[in-house]
C-alpha cells in the first residue's frame, strides 16, 4: 500500500472543509488511501476519528457492526471483520492479546498485509510473557508483516490531537518498507515517528506505558528523605524539647508550623543539589584536563535528574508560601495575639516597635518573594512547550544564570531569617543548632565554588577544556578573545 502524506504535522483533527452540516465527518476523497481497523473499543473509535480527519478512508471490522456503527464517524465503514480486511493494505489490530487467536480464521485474507499492533499488556502480563504482544501476533500470522506502533498514544491524544499530548510514536518492525509506510501515516496524522529498530524491541516499547514516572523515582525519594529528616529534626527542637524540659504541650504545631518550617529547608537544599553536580563535573574536568572522559555513573545520573530535582524544589517552595499565608488563620496564632495584647496592657507598654526586627522581616519577605518568582520562571521554562521556543543561549541563561541567582536569593532569604539567631545560646535546643544553619552548608559550598570558577585562571582553563583542549595533547590550542569566550561558553 502506498500511503501519501496528506497534511501538516499540526493540522487539526477534523478539517473544516470536510464537515457535514450535522457536525459529523464528511466522506473522504475518492482517492483516499484505505486503512482497516479490527476492533470497536474506545481506542479503535479514537483511531478511526483521527485517521478520517487526516484524510484516510477507514473501514472497521466488528463482531457486531450494527451495534457499534453509531459510535464511529459517519464516513467510516463499519462491517464484519471478514469484509473489513479484504481491500486495505494496512490493518490496525485494536484488540487485546487474548483475542488474537480469534482472528486466525482471517489468515488467508490477511496474507501479505501490514498488521499494526497497538495493544499494551498489563504489568502482570508483561512479567508473565517472555515475548511481546507484537511478537506473539507475528507468530500467529507468519505471512503478515507486523509493526508495533501507537501503543504509547492514548485515546484522548488521538481525539484532541498531538498539541495536547505526546507527539512521539515509537515504531518497530523487521521490515523497513513497512516501517516507512507506517511512519508516513504517523506524519500524516500529525505525530512524529521514532524508529525503535526490529520487532525484538517491541517488548521495550510495550513497557513504556507501564513505567510510572521513571525519571522521578530517585528525585522523589531524595525529596521525601530530606523531608523526613528535617521534619524529625524540627520536631525534636520545636515540640519535644519544650515538652521534656519545660512541660509545655506544643504538639499542635505538627500539622502546620513544623511542616512549614521543614518545607523551605527541603526546597533550599534541593535547589543547591541542582547546581552541585555541575560544580563537581567542572572540578573533574579541571583535574583531568579533558572533557573526553566519562563522568562516574552516579554523577552522570545526578546530572540527568537535575530538572526533576529543580521542579521538586519549586513545589516545596510553593507549598511553603501557601503554608505561610495560612499561619495567621490558625486559632493558636489568634490566642498568641490576645495573650501578647494582655501582656502589653499589664506591663503598661503602650508602644512596641523594634526597628531592627521590622527591617529584618521586610528584607526577609522581599527576598523570599524574589526567590520564589525566579524559581517560577525556571519551572515554566522547564516545560517542553516553553523550552522548545528558546534557543540554546536563552535556555542556558535562564536555567544556569537565573538559577544561580535564585540560589543566591534563597541564601540571602535564609540568612535574613537567621540574622543573629545562630549566635544565641537559647536557640541551641538539646544542644542542636538551628535548622537554617544546617541548610546553609551545601548552598554555600556551591556558591563559593561557582565564585571560584569565575576567577580568570580557572575560567579560561575550563573554557579551553570544553572547547576540546586536552592537558596531554601536543596540539596547540588558541582561545578567542575573553569577550567572545564569555558569550559563547556554555555552562555545566
Tell me which of 70-79, 344-353, 433-442, 478-487 is least confident: 478-487
Q: Is pLDDT above 60 for 110?
A: yes
Q: CATH classification of 34-208, choosing from 3.20.20.70, 3.40.50.1980, 3.40.50.620, 3.40.50.720?
A: 3.40.50.720
Whether the Cβ atoms of residue 402 and residue 376 lie closer than 8 Å to each other? no
Contact partners, residue 274, CB within 8 Å, separation at least 6: 306, 309, 310, 313, 403
Q: Is pLDDT above 50 for 486?
A: no
Rg of the chain taking only CA atoms, in angstroms:
31
Average pLDDT rounded to a whole number, residues 195-211: 94
Quick one: cell of 127?
Answer: 512479567
Average pLDDT rounded to a whole number, residues 73-77: 92
The DSSP bridge partners found for residue 59 are: 36, 77
Quick one: cell of 152?
Answer: 504509547
Question: Is the pLDDT higher at 353 or at 95?
Answer: 95
Other C-beta atoms closer than 10 Å to the C-beta of 111 total 11
Residues 247-258 pLDDT 10s: 999 999 999 999
Model confidence band, residue 79 (pLDDT cutoffs 50, 70, 90): very high
Whether the Cβ atoms of residue 154 and residue 235 lie closer than 8 Å to each other? no
Other C-beta atoms closer than 10 Å to the C-beta of 164 total 10
Q: Output the pLDDT for position 333.
A: 82
What's the mean per-residue pLDDT of the chain? 87
Fold of 214-467: 1.20.120
| Global pTM value | 0.75
d(CA 417, CA 401): 24
d(CA 318, CA 372): 7
Residues 384-426 pLDDT 10s: 878 888 898 999 899 999 999 999 999 999 999 998 888 999 8
CA neighbor of 429 nearest in space, from 257, 245, 230:
245
Residues 351-367 pLDDT 10s: 778 889 999 999 999 99
d(CA 285, CA 278): 11
Q: Is pLDDT above 80 for 20?
A: no
d(CA 290, CA 313): 32
Average pLDDT rounded to a whole number, residues 296-320: 96
Backbone angle region of 323, left / alpha / beta, with phi > 0 → left and psi within -120 to 50 → alpha: alpha
CA neighbor of 413 nearest in space, from 375, 358, 361:
361
Contact partners, residue 100, CB within 8 Å, separation at least 6: 93, 133, 136, 137, 140
Average pLDDT rounded to a whole number, residues 17-23: 35
Contact partners, residue 30, CB within 8 Å, separation at least 6: none
Question: Is the pLDDT higher at 346 or at 428?
Answer: 428
Average pLDDT rounded to a whole number, residues 101-116: 95
Average pLDDT rounded to a whole number, residues 315-319: 97
Task: List the chain domain ranges.
Answer: 34-208, 214-467
Question: Is the pLDDT higher at 480 or at 169?
Answer: 169
The DSSP bridge partners found for residue 301 are: none
Model confidence band, residue 450 (pLDDT cutoffs 50, 70, 90): very high
Whether the Cβ atoms of residue 25 and residue 52 lie closer than 8 Å to each other? yes
Q: Output the pLDDT for position 250.
A: 93
d(CA 263, CA 320): 6
CA neighbor of 89 nearest in space, from 56, 117, 113, 55:
113
Amino acid at each position: 500500500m502506498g500511503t501519501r502524506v496528506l497534511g501538516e504535522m499540526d493540522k487539526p483533527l477534523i478539517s473544516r472543509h470536510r464537515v457535514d452540516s450535522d457536525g459529523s465527518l464528511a466522506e473522504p476523497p475518492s482517492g483516499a488511501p484505505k486503512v482497516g481497523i479490527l476492533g470497536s473499543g474506545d481506542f479503535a473509535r479514537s483511531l478511526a476519528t483521527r485517521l478520517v480527519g487526516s484524510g484516510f478512508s477507514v473501514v472497521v471490522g466488528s463482531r457486531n457492526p450494527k451495534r457499534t456503527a453509531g459510535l464511529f464517524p459517519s464516513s467510516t465503514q463499519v462491517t464484519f471483520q471478514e469484509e473489513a480486511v479484504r481491500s486495505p493494505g494496512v490493518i490496525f489490530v485494536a484488540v487485546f492479546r487474548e483475542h488474537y487467536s480469534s482472528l486466525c480464521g482471517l489468515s488467508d485474507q490477511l496474507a501479505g498485509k501490514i498488521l499494526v499492533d497497538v495493544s499494551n499488556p498489563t504489568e502482570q502480563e508483561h512479567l508473565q510473557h517472555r515475548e511481546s504482544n507484537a511478537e506473539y501476533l507475528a507468530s500467529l500470522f507468519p505471512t503478515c508483516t507486523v509493526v508495533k506502533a501507537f501503543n504509547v498514544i492514548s485515546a484522548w491524544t488521538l481525539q484532541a490531537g498531538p498539541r495536547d499530548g505526546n507527539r512521539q510514536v515509537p515504531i518497530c518492525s523487521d521490515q523497513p518498507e513497512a516501517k516507512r509506510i507506517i511512519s508516513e501515516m504517523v506524519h500524516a496524522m500529525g505525530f512524529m515517528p521514532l524508529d525503535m529498530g526490529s520487532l525484538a524491541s517491541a517488548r521495550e516499547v510495550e513497557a513504556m506505558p507501564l513505567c510510572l514516572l521513571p525519571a522521578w523515582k530517585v528525585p522523589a525519594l531524595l525529596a521525601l528523605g530530606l523531608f523526613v529528616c528535617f521534619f524529625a529534626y524540627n520536631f525534636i527542637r520545636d515540640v519535644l524539647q519544650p515538652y521534656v524540659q519545660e512541660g509545655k504541650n506544643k504538639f499542635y504545631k505538627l500539622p502546620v508550623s513544623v511542616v512549614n518550617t521543614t518545607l523551605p529547608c527541603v526546597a533550599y537544599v534541593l535547589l543547591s543539589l541542582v547546581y552541585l553536580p555541575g560544580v563537581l563535573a567542572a572540578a573533574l574536568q579541571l583535574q583531568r584536563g579533558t572533557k573526553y572522559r566519562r563522568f562516574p555513573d552516579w554523577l552522570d545520573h545526578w546530572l540527568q535528574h537535575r530538572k526533576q530535582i529543580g521542579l521538586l524544589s519549586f513545589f516545596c517552595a510553593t507549598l511553603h508560601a501557601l503554608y505561610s499565608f495560612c499561619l495567621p488563620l490558625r486559632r493558636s496564632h489568634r490566642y498568641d495575639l490576645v495573650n501578647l495584647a494582655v501582656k502589653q496592657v499589664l506591663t503598661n507598654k503602650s508602644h512596641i516597635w523594634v526597628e531592627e526586627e521590622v527591617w529584618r522581616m521586610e528584607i526577609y519577605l522581599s527576598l523570599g518573594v524574589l526567590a520564589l518568582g525566579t524559581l517560577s520562571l525556571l519551572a515554566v521554562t522547564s516545560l517542553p512547550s516553553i523550552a522548545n521556543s528558546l534557543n540554546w543561549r536563552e535556555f542556558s541563561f535562564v536555567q544556569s544564570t537565573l538559577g544561580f541567582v535564585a540560589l543566591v536569593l534563597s541564601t540571602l532569604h535564609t540568612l535574613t531569617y537567621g540574622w543573629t539567631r545562630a549566635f544565641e545560646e537559647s536557640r541551641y535546643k538539646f544542644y542542636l543548632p538551628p535548622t537554617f544553619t544546617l541548610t546553609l552548608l551545601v548552598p554555600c559550598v556551591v556558591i563559593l565554588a561557582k565564585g571560584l570558577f569565575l576567577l580568570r585562571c580557572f575560567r579560561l582553563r575550563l573554557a579551553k577544556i570544553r572547547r576540546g583542549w586536552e592537558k596531554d595533547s601536543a596540539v596547540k590550542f588558541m582561545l578567542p578573545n575573553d569577550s567572545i569566550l564569555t558569550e559563547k561558553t556554555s555552562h555545566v
